[in-house]
Structure 1
Amino acid sequence: MSKEEMALNIISKAIRNVQDDPRVVRENGCAACHILFILADEMKVSEQDASDLLSEVLTKNPNLDDEFIAMVENIHMIRRMMGNVFAIKTREAKDKYIYSNFKNTIAELHSDMINYGPDVTLRKLLMSLISLEIAKNIGIDYHASTEELYHYMRRNHQDTDKELLVFIKQLYQRIRNKESN
């Protein structure tokens, strides 16, 4: 059995398990991450490799991709009321949480810039902003909007990739023009 076939079986089984019993995804856990972690664990690969493999398998299997996004929507949109735990915290606790996330995000972006370069870092920032806009505009949580975006991009890979690359090129050009003035 090929690596891709093994991944397909693991992903299919994990999705069915979540559909049969949504409680297998921890209370505030991410449904997509749950599948990703199972794949990484069972395939004995890194989370990044599992993420690449998950995306590859879903891209090649549109029906499974539809099941995957339906599972994410069920967990993140239908079964949950988001934000309640954060809302009941004290202002001080909220501020500490926000500050911690602020610092961690900056550190992660810095690490990405060093390890993967500015193009990948900028692409990550763009994807995050687009996901956030989707979440805000249609009233869903961020994880669900990210998975919806990835689902769309898998189906429209050439067009979306081209648009991102055009934007990145234009941004770099404006930066260069500003620096030369």
Structure 2
Amino acid sequence: MGRYLWLALAFMVASCGGKFSEPRNLDNACALIKERPGYYTAMRRTERRWEVPVAVQMAIIHQESKFVGNARTPQRFALGIIPLGRQSSAYGYAQALDGTWDEYRAASFGFGKSRDDIDDATDFIGWYLDGTERALGIAKTDTRNQYLAYHEGRAGYARGSYRSKGWLLQVATNVAARAQMYQAQLASCNAG
């Protein structure tokens, strides 16, 4: 009887570990979707619904959370030791802020949706990038500018708040390069 209990416990731990642990190879799209096929299924569904390429979704999730479902922003400290709370309310695969997530849930009638669920997170990214294309005219394949609007918010992007942030411009360039890399890899493993 004890052996079956240990097997059941091991199975439960193994089945839960996926969404809260970083995949082994973040630099290889084919290895990533082989390790986590549910991620690819979710991203393909989002691509069909919102026309946001899988590689763009992957690059954004990589930048935001490294594919860790319960990712949070770092804690802030006063005097280096007194915790002041998190830097922002960003949470989950897509690092969606509370307010933006609430807008998404209201727009999609998805009050049971969760930021630490890959299906919901990719759908959120699709919804957000679709709205950005409609509001600002940024193509869903323009990863760099879509990421800038994702990070700064549409109003911040429209104001040009990113222009004075050299570090963010570099991050956006890196996200775009990663999307291109992922797209090439997905084509090579016949997944894209």
Q: TM-score, normalised by structure 1?
A: 0.30
Higher helix share: 1
Higher relative contact order (CA 8 A, sep 6+): 2
